[in-house]
Amino acid sequence: MHEEVIMAGTGGQGIMIMGQLLAYAAMQADRHVVWFPSYGPEARGGTADCTVIISSDEIGSPITACPDTLVGMHQFMFNRFQPSVKPGGTLVVNTSLIDPAAIRTDCKLISLNANEIAEEIGNIRAANMVILGAYAGTTGAVSVDALIAALPEVLPPHRHKLIPLNEQALRKGAELAKPL
């Protein structure tokens, strides 16, 4: 098993938490993992992306030129990384903020209106967990249950009150995403 994924959006969308949660859940499954964050100096609204590599074998480099998967939360960053995804790769797309007409046709597509789904659940800030649930539920890189189990370890203590909301968002994303 070897999965290279880039998660891309803007500051404030929870991109780093998505990557950390995925990495931690994979480590708990005894996989080799790299989490490599990259972000601009702005606290909100600037660029934010992270690379997560999950493998059964040792990982030689934290950098990927051709990821298997792109998780896109915002149009600008999606446009930046979309060309690098391997042909036949997977695009996990928040169509609340990404124009479906701009999506490559040579990749598998998982698309959800994550912002609207998160609002229905009760908090638009859970859109990242909706998309992460869709990713996990369709790719099988980690299970949704593993992500949920990792929430208390990854979220800071003052955010633990949001664990039930995040669990609901992860499960809803996995439920609504179409299997590959």
What pLDDT band is residue 46 in, cutting at 50, 70 and 90? confident
CATH number of the domain residue 75 falls in: 3.40.920.10
180, pLDDT greater than 60: no
Q: Specify the pTM.
A: 0.92
Count of other CB atoms within 10 angstroms of residue 108:
14
Residues 83-108: tens digit of each pLDDT:
999 999 999 999 999 987 778 889 99
Residues 169, 127: Cα–Cα separation, whole Å? 7
3-class state of residue 44 by DSSP: coil
Per the structure, the complete domain to which residue 24 belongs is given by 2-176
Residues 123-158: tens digit of each pLDDT:
999 999 999 999 999 988 999 999 999 999 999 999
Residues 6-23: tens digit of each pLDDT:
999 988 888 999 999 999
Report the domain count for the chain. Answer: 1
Q: What angle do the packed helices 114-121 and 127-139 form, to 10 degrees? A: 110
The pLDDT score that the predictor gives to residue 63 is 85
What pLDDT band is residue 47 in, cutting at 50, 70 and 90? confident
